[in-house]
Structure 1
């Protein structure tokens, strides 16, 4: 995989999901039917636990879902520039693993906070979250933790260190929790926590993102159809019989050959194998 391929794919997936959302809302407008919100809601991340149990996939889907154009543009710009910096020190697989796990960490902290702190009690049953912000924050903080003095040119003019960008981002989210969109800022902090832990663990030779690929391998093995064992019959097993073979032998041979084609030679009983051996010598 060429450098940047995974970064491009993540951006493309986010954009495609946004385009789908746009078309859903467009059809709602044209058909004058109220169905868009109900469809989109199934992919947002709820804080109400009974609802989360009904749609567990939302822990993954929410981090690719945007409804507002500027929300998408801002997150994708952050993802692009943060991802390019990240790839200076980490692999494509680690980029994907950090995106997914950072998004999950952000989502879980968001859910936990809304179910613990009394201030969120009035809205816990109706609150939902969406967007790649937590996943992107994980990528940026991981890079800043691993290489804090990496130079970043702000607005193509002012050069600052990457750790400064990370600190400002975290402080901004902390200060913004009480000012609105508390759930979003809490999720960002969850992503930041994972990004920090990911980089620190990487320095110790520990991968916190490997589970993503281990799990995907397990899922692929479950749904991948098993290949039937090929059995190549010798010339003696073909349906060419000697003049001495009677009709019942032919019928039995047909049954055994059918059994081999379905289940393999090892499925035959000892008696059936002996019968094949005897027919093969005729």
Structure 2
């Protein structure tokens, strides 16, 4: 099988974490290739594409590129930046999925990234030390989204043990607090200030999401529904409706609703099993049922 087909198959069959990593890497490769072509052609270090996809600190600039609130969280330019973010997304995404479902992870990724961007923009236009940089400041990277995933997991399961090299087992909540302290110090040191502010915004959203889930409220549901509707606008619709006749009679509304309730009951049972014993405790059929439900 050609490499392109293998990658396509891996993306299609992979979970939400795998797909997010593939998208980030794909954007990184495309941007770097286009940058190489651009610099060789125009001999100009200013690369417009990264500015169009990065989120600006200036609200006036944001008005003309509102898409950047989404695109920035998939954009990386330096190799070490994307390597660290993708490794962190892989590790903590798997922990997140032990307690939450794939659609919740996707919602937290997007909403955590947006929260980080909003705190970044607000800070650059509120604090005097940053206001002079606001007209030209831009930000990129998945860090805020990843921080949201980390802190959601830490809030929901604070005693989960993470094994760190040369350190050993550490409680997830302690690791999350250490990361937050480093970001606060980074803001004070004026070292990558925008990035550290975005991390804090993502972390705050992760905490808020998990605290609401603990109370029985999933704040990602409406966002995921909005994204589904938005994507459906651009999805290609068939020009002709094709009907297939079978020997099966159409289901009545009562039968359809009963089948729907049965499927939902099965998914609820699977989610409870994940909370009690972890994702690895699921059978192959249960994993397939959960995957199919997350893509419906």
TM interval, shorter chain, is 0.7 to 0.9
Which residue pairs with 1:20 in the alignment? 30
Q: Quick check: 1:46 aligned with 2:56?
A: yes
TM-score (normalizing by structure 1): 0.77
Compared with structure 1, are the counterparts of its residues 217 and 4 closer, same or farther at alpha carbon in structure 2 (3 Å cutoff)?
closer
Q: Quick check: 1:205 aligned with 2:247?
A: no
Which residue pairs with 1:265 in the alignment? none
Which residue pairs with 1:145 in the alignment? 155
SS in 1 for 2:47: helix
Aligned structure 1 segments of 4 or more residues deviating by more than 6 angstroms? 1-4, 226-230
Which residue pairs with 1:191 in the alignment? 202
SS in 2 for 1:152: strand
SS in 2 for 1:211: helix
Q: Quick check: 1:134 aligned with 2:144?
A: yes
TM-score (normalizing by structure 2): 0.73
Structure with larger Rg? 1
Output aligned runs, 1:6-155, within 5 Å.
6-34=16-44, 37-155=47-165
CA offset at residue 157 of structure 1? 5.7
What is the root-mean-square deviation of aligned Cα atoms in Å?
Answer: 2.3
1:148 and 1:2 mapped to 2: Cα distance? 33
1:86 and 1:3 mapped to 2: Cα distance? 19
How many positions carry a matched residue from both structures? 231
Q: Greater CA deviation, 154-163 or 15-24?
A: 154-163
List runs of 5+ in structure 2 lacking aligned partners: 1-10, 243-296
List runs of 5+ in structure 1 lacking aligned partners: 231-282
Q: Answer yes or no: is the 8 Å Cα contact 2:38–2:47 preserved in 1.
A: no
Compared with structure 1, are the counterparts of its residues 89 and 164 closer, same or farther at alpha carbon in structure 2 (3 Å cutoff)?
same
C-alpha distance after superposition, 1:104-130 (max 9, x if no partner): 000000001111111111111000000
CA offset at residue 178 of structure 1? 2.2
